[in-house]
Structure 1
């Protein structure tokens, strides 16, 4: 992967910063002044975006880019990154993720330090030197023709179903709600019929787990697509077949090391374009509620320029 020099991006506009103070249950909230101070060492004006909701955050990012921001920085987890990517994808505006959330998979898979201050140092140095590196993104298109982008993984199986269940629950609050959603959906576990079209080749299969990765990880370090490379112009598709409850719970811990792909019920594919269809599934991309199936997903080489 080649670095892009200052000649490729000469903007001197302000550095826009989207910060999520609740990311990672607020454990890095007090770091924001120090992060902004270190960004300012790049010699560019720094503007903190204001937003009260995820939708407002995404709108603020779009507005910043439209108004000439010279770079966009997201301080938070994968959800914050996901919102920011919608604004910079396919543009020349450089992007920097500062990992400050519960899950920081896009930043980790893109080679940024896990420490927020360390990541900001890398970003500030890249700003000073006018250096960016192109990284692929995945572009989703739904039945209405609307597009969404993601940087890490699209979940369209058991994990997406659990997220959907947890988001509908009003009790309990916090992580226990997700744990309860897992128990409920495990009791209802059944393989679903999927249609996969990989660069035009059709696969009909029954599955419990389905993931389409631009990067390797989701859920805070679970290497669901362990061989995915966000610079190869391809998407990795990992499918877990007709698992029963006991087998799924035995295999699930192996996802953290990526060794689940050796299980006989797991299949892996690679393609530039993935069309995915199933009944009653709402996908989750970068951990965020996304499009209902069916969707078309395309790897877009160099869709974002990272400040590293």
Structure 2
């Protein structure tokens, strides 16, 4: 690790710790101050956000899309600041910031039946607080991929595991851990809206456009009979805290056909977005892979066969 990387990681860590001492209302105000600068300087994020919003809602005019894009980027800034709150604030303060929990009975009923629960947690609101709440109320296992800045890896892992979550690698060994957790009637967290590697997904419509979507879910469901729910944390107005939502999944997620299941997964994400479109992370290139492109990727068929055999 270079000197610059060490300095960067220490600076980021110090800022996260500082943000952990702030209230959610203060963090939202800071996000309002920083968002115009972020919008101006983060050209890639600004451009991708606008392109994605236009793709999702082609019927909206530019006048309607511009404020939505600005709001979305402010929520993204707030999420970055709130990482410090989720990972470093005193646990009771974090718990108090979550005002209401909607749909918890979906998890309780499944576990009462002896079934595990797969929570689809899209990049909406503050997903780190979703992990914090779940790990404080249920035994939960989730996959974890180290960040590009390696020095931040232990800090992020510590933050995510501090309330009791178990993180496993994004490998066949990690998948085996998920299966064992579900067979113990525990909770498993999956990110439904990340673009997987070639061979680990299929194309399914997301807002009417084909998006490459992971196929881990149907294998887990088929082998464990787990229940699937969508879970997300919604930021309340003016930084007053958060509400937690659990929604019954689209019934297609239980279909053994990977393409049908993936369509159900994307419908689950759309249902979450419908509650507050600005709180979704639109700067992520969800549609960056296109149908037909996979045939040009060396070894994609071999990886797909491997992934299917080791689910």
Tell me the TM-score normalised to structure 2 length: 0.30
Instruction: Write 1 or 2 for the structure with the bigger share of helix.
Output: 2
User: So what's the TM-score if we normalise by structure 1?
Assistant: 0.30
Between Structure 1 and Structure 2, the one with more strand by share is 1
